[in-house]
């Protein structure tokens, strides 16, 4: 790909490791998976899938950043190192609400970035990530529906 564009790189770096970036969401889902496996084991597979999907999104995005000549370090475009917030809650209904908000915000963020990028190769990779985020959203909504029936 080798497209050197510092503006694009900054946009992608913020998606990758900004405050609500994909890597923070991955850590969030990984923490929740570990908790879910103890407190709500009947939802373990769903949360395992969530953190696997999120790390796949991180991998895709980091490859695009590296292909552009960037470094995909764990910091935002302003060189602020990873400091995202992880919610350490134990209530499954609250977890789902927080996760849906995170995923929906990340969908808005990535679609916003898509609108600012003209390069078709980068857009193609970002659309793959949008599909992954939509899968996460679907899983979370399915869990929410299951919770209503319990």
Residue 1 has pLDDT above 70, yes or no: no
Structure tokens at 128: 């793959």
* Gap between the Cα atoms of 78 and 94, Å rounded: 32
pTM for this predicted structure: 0.90
Structure tokens at 1: 């790909």
Structure tokens at 23: 């890597």
> Residue 130: CB partners within 8 Å, gap ≥ 6?
107, 110, 111, 114
* Gap between the Cα atoms of 146 and 34, Å rounded: 20
Average pLDDT score over residue span 119-125:
95
Residue 121 has pLDDT above 90, yes or no: yes
pLDDT of residue 73: 84
pLDDT of residue 83: 65
pLDDT of residue 5: 84
* Mean pLDDT score of the chain: 91
Indicate the class that CATH gives domain 6-149. Answer: mainly alpha
Contact 57/132 with Cβ under 8 angstroms? yes
Q: What is the DSSP letter of 3?
A: -
Each residue's pLDDT tens digit, 73-93: 887 777 777 766 777 788 899
Residue 108 has pLDDT above 70, yes or no: yes
């Amino acid at each position: 790909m080798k497209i050197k564009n510092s503006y694009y790189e900054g946009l992608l770096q913020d998606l990758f490791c900004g405050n609500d970036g994909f890597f923070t969401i991955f850590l969030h889902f990984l923490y929740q998976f570990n908790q879910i496996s103890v407190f709500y084991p009947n939802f373990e597979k769903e949360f395992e899938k969530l953190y696997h999907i999120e790390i796949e999104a991180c991998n895709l995005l980091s490859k695009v950043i590296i292909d552009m000549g960037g470094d995909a370090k764990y910091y935002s475009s302003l060189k602020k190192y990873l400091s995202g917030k992880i919610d350490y809650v134990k209530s499954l209904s609250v977890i789902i609400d927080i996760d849906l908000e995170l995923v929906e915000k990340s969908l808005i963020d990535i679609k916003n970035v898509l609108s600012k990028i003209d390069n078709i190769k980068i857009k193609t990779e970002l659309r793959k990530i949008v599909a992954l985020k939509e899968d996460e959203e679907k899983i979370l909504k399915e869990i929410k529906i299951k919770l209503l029936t319990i």
